[in-house]
Structure 1
């Protein structure tokens, strides 16, 4: 268990309260857009929203082969959900703008934006890091999300939701070798705080998606954070819950998918009316 957990029950796999097939968590009628959704954590999130019967899921990614495979597989398994794919590097504004214009033409307004793309630079101390590789984390997590949100807002539903797929290490102490990823994700968190402050009509939530052994994560030596790995379904299913009506009390808050949602709901009044689960430069306040 993480010492950061505000609840007693800490999950590493999915469980009934976040089952995306439950009518309580239905995404029927919703149009979802996700960046980096063709593999790893992103694909788990896409699959969970398909299980929740989302009307459409539009996936932005850079690799056509994984996009096509994801589309074909999920449309066969979940025929009620239409999967759209767009090759786009979120660092390149013209590609992102073009993708969102195409999405709007295809499905209309967008209900949920999931900002999932991030970049793990090579695991290296500051004096050993390649400058371009090191800074690319900021290009993706800050500039990329800036492009993504700005392209989304003109096509957002009036009561749209934004999910910032964050990370567990933001409130942790410095970990030599992870400076690019750590600092760029802290910067991204602050960026999304401004998105929320300037667009208070949006529901916005920061979600640590759990720890999966993905291609990006493989750059980091196993055990570096001291937190074990989770099952992929936990990540996707918890994100579906996080955008449901049950989680409205978490507007502007930061959560881990590992935290038991029933225990969080029992704390809802206190969380909503206080700084609990708000992440800032001084850490997580319970």
Structure 2
């Protein structure tokens, strides 16, 4: 099998017809999407992509009302039929999350699609560990617990659509980078939530809610400019911000149902991926797990152990 970074022969840095929001096959008419971290970067581009795909409603979520209001006003100018609204929702604060979902329920708003884009990011050494534990708790609280509460309230809505919900988790390729110097805090928390969602997908049928985690690519956002080395822009090959945005729209269509519970890169060609159905028969394919060995079905774990013991002892 090809390496993860070359999972498909075609590798994209920008949107292409199969995932384009203007492709009629990716149309999102009649659906409402909520996007955390929606005021800039990937979140803002994702909102714009759903508008291009003719979503009925786009709800921007973020921490400050003024930036949300400005972003919503800017997006509404390009929207033909989409209603763009905003709501303060901080994934670091449970009460803020609960307030948002209580609001949509009170307004009889049904969220068909949830894009979890907001995250806490911190880089640097994890050793000495004792001094980094407060920051570790903070990262896990936002990136795992906060996002889990968002997902839980999303799934707990009263069903008002015959079409499956979609949950798109904007994860990161660093969850499977080894080694990943100074990434322990961020990548471990993002890996934990990605793993959590794949287990949720084991219990939720894709016909109920389609769950896909994606690595958005290397996008030179304002956040990256602030946190990265000044010379990074000179040596790196960046992906267009519209690539993960368009991929998220495509991931919200029935065509992406085979990716339920999986982790994929936005750069991988979706038509090639969909042609590899035999690989997806492995329930561990493109999921967080142990490298270097086949995936394991927990239901048959003890049967396999007994079989191996019998073979080793020369008995049947």
1:259 aligns with 2:268: yes
User: How far, CA to CA, are the matches of 1:277 and 1:116 in structure 2?
Assistant: 24
Give the equivalent residue in structure 2 for 1:86: 87
Give the equivalent residue in structure 2 for 1:191: 196
User: How far, CA to CA, are the matches of 1:134 and 1:277 in structure 2?
Assistant: 29
Shift of residue 29, structure 1, vs aligned partner: 0.5
Structure 1 length as normaliser, TM-score?
Answer: 0.89
Give the equivalent residue in structure 1 for 2:302: none
Contact in 2 for aligned 1:255/1:277 (Cα 8 Å): no
User: How far, CA to CA, are the matches of 2:265 and 2:19 in structure 1?
Assistant: 13
Cα distance per residue 1:156-206 (max 9 Å; x no partner): 646211111111111111322111001111111122123223333321111
Aligned to 1:280, what secondary structure does the other structure show? coil
Contact in 1 for aligned 2:198/2:262 (Cα 8 Å): no
Give the equivalent residue in structure 2 for 1:127: 128
Equivalent residues in 2 for 1:170-185 (5 A)?
A: 170-185=175-190
Cα distance per residue 1:13-57 (max 9 Å; x no partner): 112221101111000001111211111111111110111000011
User: How far, CA to CA, are the matches of 1:34 and 1:3 in structure 2?
Assistant: 27
User: How far, CA to CA, are the matches of 1:57 and 1:142 in structure 2?
Assistant: 24
* Count, aligned residues: 283
C-alpha RMSD of the superposition = 2.5
For structure 2, which runs of at least 5 residues remain unmatched after alignment? 296-316
Give the equivalent residue in structure 2 for 1:235: 244
User: How far, CA to CA, are the matches of 1:107 and 1:5 in structure 2?
Assistant: 44
Q: Who wins on radius of gyration, i.e. which is larger?
A: 2
Structure 2 length as normaliser, TM-score?
Answer: 0.81
Aligned to 1:114, what secondary structure does the other structure show? strand
User: How far, CA to CA, are the matches of 1:271 and 1:86 in structure 2?
Assistant: 41
Contact in 2 for aligned 1:171/1:283 (Cα 8 Å): no
Give the equivalent residue in structure 2 for 1:19: 20
1:205 aligns with 2:212: yes
Give the equivalent residue in structure 2 for 1:50: 51
1:248 aligns with 2:253: no
User: How far, CA to CA, are the matches of 1:148 and 1:243 in structure 2?
Assistant: 18
For structure 1, which runs of at least 5 residues remain unmatched after alignment? none
Shift of residue 227, structure 1, vs aligned partner: 6.6
Contact in 2 for aligned 1:91/1:147 (Cα 8 Å): no
Shift of residue 230, structure 1, vs aligned partner: 0.6
1:219 aligns with 2:230: no
Cα distance per residue 1:103-151 (max 9 Å; x no partner): 2344532211111111111434533875433432212111111221122
Cα distance per residue 1:61-113 (max 9 Å; x no partner): 10222211110011110131111211121121121111112123445322111
Name the stretch that deviates more: 61-70 or 275-284: 275-284
Aligned to 2:238, what secondary structure does the other structure show? coil
Shift of residue 237, structure 1, vs aligned partner: 0.7
Which of the pair is proportionally richer in strand?
1
User: How far, CA to CA, are the matches of 2:192 and 2:82 in structure 1?
Assistant: 34
Shift of residue 223, structure 1, vs aligned partner: 5.5
Aligned to 2:264, what secondary structure does the other structure show? strand
Aligned to 1:32, what secondary structure does the other structure show? strand
